Chain A
């Protein structure tokens, strides 16, 4: 008699995490916002802090982030997400508070709030999606738009003589003593997605230490306004955006201190 031994079993190795709601996202096909949302939800579920987390959505394409992330949320006026997050964190210091902002939101109209939040060293996590353009309003030039990059308000390419240079706000705030952990990641390839998730996780974990602002930049794409297919936009991003915005940690905590 032969006895069947069960030596192969099928297991689920990846599925949509619980706090990423079933609501269909309004983002264009291939938009990096979707992946960034999922990573936040995954980290929060893995840390089991969904009841203790409050997010602040910006103005921009991700204005409806609260429809997709199943946790407490607020939505701030344009550029003010980090200021609103500051208020929430100061009233409820035991909660995990994060803001989620685009480059037009965080680095243009909200530059003042961003810099001062980081300079005060508020214990929040700022997630910054940098797609080098104003996505929601139809592809106008942002402070982060690359030199010679075309947008609806720089149809012949960004001329740095008259339009200034792209703003590396992440490097700027990393220089402030209030920031604790500053990193730049992307979500266009599997390896980068894994790294970005680690970075977001660290951002949440460090919040417990009350050591200052954590800032995670995610360089992302905008296929619709870059006028490319999603795959092309990822290649273009790899070639051009990442050359100007190199990935990696910009400020890491001193482990001995922590």
Chain B
């Protein structure tokens, strides 16, 4: 089964480098940077693609610097059957 795909965005200037998110990540996709931010802290960075968007890192982040995204699968629903088409037609669905 394909894994859920997620992504995180870290506000590196507000990160205080406490490393708690690194601990909390079950997929080990977060690590600390080698450089410092303007405050002088090593900040958290996403180093791998395995993020599932589980939000664990954001939940434990004391400074709320992590935003989490998740790709959600939408069910494909059959809404019409078109047969005997001779020209191009466009079918669109209201989102």
A9 touches B71 (CB 8 A): yes
Please report the total number of B residues contacting A with Cβ < 8 Å: 36
Distance in Å: Cβ of B12 to nearest Cβ of chain A: 13
Within 8 A of B (CB), among A1-52: 1, 3, 5-17, 20, 24-25, 27-35, 38
Bin chain A's interface residue count: 35 or more
Within 8 A of A (CB), among B56-79: 56, 58-76
The total of interchain contacts (Cβ-Cβ below 8 angstroms) comes to 101
> At the interface, yes or no: A187 with Cβ under 8 Å from chain B?
yes
Residues of A within 8 A of B16 (CB): 28-30
Q: Which residue of B lies closest to A25 (CB)?
A: B63
Question: A1-B88, A3-B91, A230-B18 in contact; A34/B72 too (CB < 8 A)?
Answer: no
Residues of A within 8 A of B76 (CB): 5, 7
A27 touches B19 (CB 8 A): no
A34 touches B63 (CB 8 A): yes
Residues of B within 8 A of A13 (CB): 6, 53, 55, 68-70
B74 touches A9 (CB 8 A): yes
Distance in Å: Cβ of B14 to nearest Cβ of chain A: 6
Within 8 A of A (CB), among B7-22: 7, 14, 16-20
Q: Which residue of B lies closest to A20 (CB)?
A: B64
A10 touches B88 (CB 8 A): no
Q: Which residue of B lies closest to A11 (CB)?
A: B72
Residues of B within 8 A of A14 (CB): 55, 58-59, 66-68
B71 touches A194 (CB 8 A): no
B88 touches A16 (CB 8 A): no
B19 touches A190 (CB 8 A): no
B14 touches A24 (CB 8 A): yes
| Complex A-B: 8 CB contacts under 8 Å | A7-B76, A9-B72, A15-B67, A30-B16, A38-B62, A188-B20, A223-B18, A231-B18
Q: Enumerate the 9 nearest inter-chain pairs by beta-carbon distance, A residue then B residue, closest first.
A: A34-B62, A30-B18, A29-B16, A29-B18, A14-B68, A230-B18, A16-B64, A190-B56, A14-B58
